[in-house]
A = this chain, B = another copy of it.
Amino acid sequence: MSINFLKTTGTLGADLRALRKSRGITLIDLSEKMGRSVGWLSQVERDISSPTINELRQIAKEFQVPLSLFFGSSEAKANEVGRIVRKSARRKIGGGAIGLVEELLSPDLTDDFEVLRSVFNPNAKLENFVTRPTQEVGYIVSGNLNLWIEDEMFELESGDSFRIRGEQFKWANPNDKNAIVIWVIAPPIY
């Protein structure tokens, strides 16, 4: 029986690069903000050198993502890295609204889209409209979700799906039970 070391999901460098690109930041920009050299950052993103936890924390802060984005709750088997995400090993993506728990179903951040599993807690709601330059499709696995897109409101039930394309939206869970939604976003925002 071995001690559980803190391990990333095995795709750290590629994830960091994808994250940086999705924000339109260059290595030069980031290195200046972090006070590190460009060469070092380049190596980190290619898994040639590995950042300490503190450095990783600094990067996470720079991109406004939770540190948890880089860690699955359990370790992936070697042959599953980049291919399979087990239910027990999904990465938490915090940062969003309260009453909303998001986890990543994609194995890393390098695809042209991202797939999330979102749990909307009972009576949770997003107060203010959000707009993103993305195409998003969601599917209600269970529960109910009220969705406002521009000036329309839709009452969605289990089995319904929706699309948002750069339009402003907000949501509310009108029920006393969780709503579970599979949510696809392109291009990636995390």
Contact = CB atoms under 8 A, between A and B. Distances in A.
A187 B112 CA distance: 9
Chain A residues touching B, range:
35 or more
A67 interface: no
Interface in A160-190: 160-165, 182, 184, 186-187
Interface in A130-147: 135, 137, 139, 141
A22 to B, nearest CB: 14
B87 A163 contact: no
Interface in A56-100: 79-80, 82-87
**Copies of the polypeptide in the assembly:** 2
A187 B160 CA distance: 23
A15 B164 CA distance: 17
Interface of A: 79-80, 82-87, 105-107, 111-113, 115, 117, 135, 137, 139, 141, 149, 152, 154, 156-165, 182, 184, 186-187
